[in-house]
Amino acid sequence: MDLAKYRAIFIEEATENFAEMSGALLELEKNPGSTESIDVVFRMAHSIKGMAASLGYDAVTDLAHRMEDRMQVVRAEGSAAPGPELSLLFRGLKALEDMVEVVKTSDDLPSPAPAELLAALSGPRGDVEPREATAAPVMEPPALPRHPQLGPAASEVPALEASQRSVDTPRPPPSVRVHTDTLDRFLSTVGEVILNTSQVRTAAAVYEATKAPDLAEGLDRMDRVVGELQRRALDLRTTPVLRILDPLPRVARELAERSGKRVEVELLGAELELDRSILDRLSDPLVHLLRNAVDHGVETPEARVAAGKSDVGRIVVEARREKDSIRISVSDDGAGVDLGRVKARAIEAGVIHRDLADDLPPEQIAAFIFHPGLSTRDEISEISGRGVGMDAVKASIESLGGSAQVVSDAGRGTVTSLLVPITAAVQRVLLLGLGDEIVALPISKVERVLEMRGDRIERSGSEAFAMVDDELVPVFDLADGLALQPNPGGELVHLVLTEVRGERVALLAERIDGQQQIYVKPVPELLSRKRALAGLTILGDGRPVFLVDLNQTV
């Protein structure tokens, strides 16, 4: 028997089992009598037991066996006892996950679970004492799944008792597993094909179509096929947001348990799909927002009851489509951001002058939480104080071409949201000529392009405006913003209407060099600190063109 092969299958399958078990336990917390969820936890424990026994992981087998037995008792009783019994099951799950992590990262056999946990699982039902918070070992939030689940997530296919089974449950189409590395290499190759196609087309343009009709026809056919290839490749790149939202309810639960709070997490829009490369970089920021919501948003049960709220805090994590972007928001019904304190910290840290601070609208004050070095708590709590701050969240979202916002309502709660583009790799762009340089702007950001006489642009001091649709729109010289030679300003100028941070603006460009589908590569390391540059592509004639990040330019 090829042990390495079975070990890999075990790790993969157990990890899926854990995710299902976790989802079912969370469901049992809301609905302790859900026979379906009881059944899933039982079945997952059983499945893990069988695999572990085959591989000689006795510690895993023993713990899974006791979890299974416990679930059998729960099934016989008809419901899980909320509170202590569920905590016990969650601890069992966590211990199983840790053991599989040992299998994954070392050649060691996992060591047995704590005797106290094993005894409690096999003990009588009433004998489950809630742990004292002070004695509790520090638990890390569960690791987020690192491998993609192609096809529908397992938790979307609930197990049904034979009697409850609905006949019309559609079976998901068969799926295959592909290593992310393989997929990435494939997608990168597709990008190169797209790039090469446009280079070939440019090179072939020297032959007139009449002289080489076969060439023209061949190129057209190739374009169609490459277009199809590109659409399929884009489909492969997208993954349901569920993949990063799925672990959040449990993370929240563990965080809340440690700080003596109670929270319930609802996930909405998890079926929306997003470019995988973007999705992967969203999960840490999202965990951070969730931590903030649990730590600083949701109040203690006593404080909530005193404020006339339910003792269980409610956090909604929602993904919503907005044009070519997806907004993922984390809303809590807690106390809201303490704006007075944020303002005081901002003044103290020298971010803003006291006199100016008083004139700022609440949303701008709230936005200070994204500023480096401003934490609103006098003492950073053990949980949120670790790792990244909100400034890091903002920076990492902006590097994806997105933005982060916070809206707070004193006493009613806080909504933090991340807006990110759906696809990153292939974009249709407008090429703008600025002197000798060409820069690219995503077409999706362009409202329209106007031609206007230079003298119609009104200047007052260093600012410029133009009348567009009876509206005064600020005009920015892109060349100036990118520190290129300023626009010489001929008789006719081009204005590209776009939106920056919700404001309509017009960009002044010397030439419009057409539209093109480009494959965006990351900006080379050397230039990666130039935040105005969002990406790089090579045109058909071999010239490098940078994709401009307007948020950093205007």
Partner 1 sequence: MARVLVADDASFMRQMIREIVEAEGHEVVGEASDGDEAVEEFKRLHPDVVTMDIVMPRRSGIDAVKGIMELDSSAKVVMCSALGQETLVQEALAAGALDFIVKPFKPDAVLATLAKVAEKE
159 binds partner 1 (CB under 8 A): yes
Counting residues that bind partner 1 (by CB under 8 A) gives 21
| Part in contact with partner 1 (CB under 8 A); list of ranges 152-160, 307-315, 342-350, 510-518 | 152-160
The pair of three-digit structure tokens given for residue 505, joined into one six-digit string: 């603006």
43 binds partner 1 (CB under 8 A): yes
69 binds partner 1 (CB under 8 A): yes
Closer of 13 and 391 to partner 1 (Cβ): 13
Looking at 19, 29, 38, 49, which residue binds partner 1 (CB under 8 A)?
A: 49
1 binds partner 1 (CB under 8 A): yes
Closer of 10 and 370 to partner 1 (Cβ): 10
CB 512 within 8 A of CB 494: yes
Closer of 165 and 459 to partner 1 (Cβ): 165
| Part in contact with partner 1 (CB under 8 A); list of ranges 38-46, 361-369, 397-405, 465-473 | 38-46
3-state SS of 1-58 is CCHHHHHHHHHHHHHHHHHHHHHHHHHHHHCCCCHHHHHHHHHHHHHHHHHHHHHCCH
13 binds partner 1 (CB under 8 A): yes
Closer of 47 and 87 to partner 1 (Cβ): 47
The pair of three-digit structure tokens given for residue 389, joined into one six-digit string: 């701050």
| Part in contact with partner 1 (CB under 8 A); list of ranges 154-162, 396-404, 483-491, 513-521 | 154-162
Could you tell me whether strands 413-421 and 403-409 are parallel, antiparallel, or unpaired per DSSP bridges? antiparallel
| Part in contact with partner 1 (CB under 8 A); list of ranges 42-50, 210-218, 399-407, 444-452 | 42-50
Looking at 18, 28, 41, 65, which residue binds partner 1 (CB under 8 A)?
A: 65
| Part in contact with partner 1 (CB under 8 A); list of ranges 9-17, 262-270, 333-341, 492-500 | 9-17
Burial 197-233 (b: 16+ CB within 10 A, else e): bbeeeeeeeeeeeeeeeeebeebeeeeeebeeebeeb
165 binds partner 1 (CB under 8 A): yes
The amino acid sitting at 408 is S
Other C-beta atoms within 10 Å of 485: how many? 12
Name the β-bridge partners of 535. 547
3-state SS of 490-510 is CCEEEEEEEEECCEEEEEEEC
| Residues of this chain, 452-471, that bind partner 1 according to CB under 8 A | none
| Residues of this chain, 523-542, that bind partner 1 according to CB under 8 A | none
Q: CA angle, corner 186, sides to 180 and 192, nearest 5? A: 140
Looking at 6, 114, 377, 499, which residue binds partner 1 (CB under 8 A)?
A: 6
| Residues of this chain, 175-194, that bind partner 1 according to CB under 8 A | none
Least spacing, CB of residue 263 vs partner 1, in Å: 30
Best CA proximity match to 459, nearest among 434, 471, 476, 435: 476
| Part in contact with partner 1 (CB under 8 A); list of ranges 6-14, 191-199, 330-338, 433-441 | 6-14
Read off φ and ψ for residue 388, nearest 5 degrees.
-75, 155
CB 328 within 8 A of CB 241: yes
Looking at 33, 50, 82, 411, which residue binds partner 1 (CB under 8 A)?
A: 50
62 binds partner 1 (CB under 8 A): no
- CA–CA dist 183, 81 (Å, integer): 44
Best CA proximity match to 449, nearest among 387, 362, 511: 511
Looking at 25, 38, 42, 393, which residue binds partner 1 (CB under 8 A)?
A: 42
Closer of 157 and 316 to partner 1 (Cβ): 157
Closer of 53 and 392 to partner 1 (Cβ): 53
| Residues of this chain, 210-229, that bind partner 1 according to CB under 8 A | none
Closer of 53 and 473 to partner 1 (Cβ): 53
Name the β-bridge partners of 496. 449, 507
519 binds partner 1 (CB under 8 A): no
- CA–CA dist 198, 179 (Å, integer): 29
Burial 326-335 (b: 16+ CB within 10 A, else e): bbbbbbbbbb
Read off φ and ψ for residue 40, nearest 5 degrees.
-65, -45
Spacing of C-alpha 122 from chain mean position: 39
The pair of three-digit structure tokens given for residue 137, joined into one six-digit string: 């070992």
Least spacing, CB of residue 51 vs partner 1, in Å: 5
53 binds partner 1 (CB under 8 A): yes
156 binds partner 1 (CB under 8 A): no
Per CB under 8 A, residues contacting partner 1 are: 1, 6, 9-10, 13, 42-43, 46-47, 49-51, 53-54, 65, 69, 157, 159-160, 162, 165
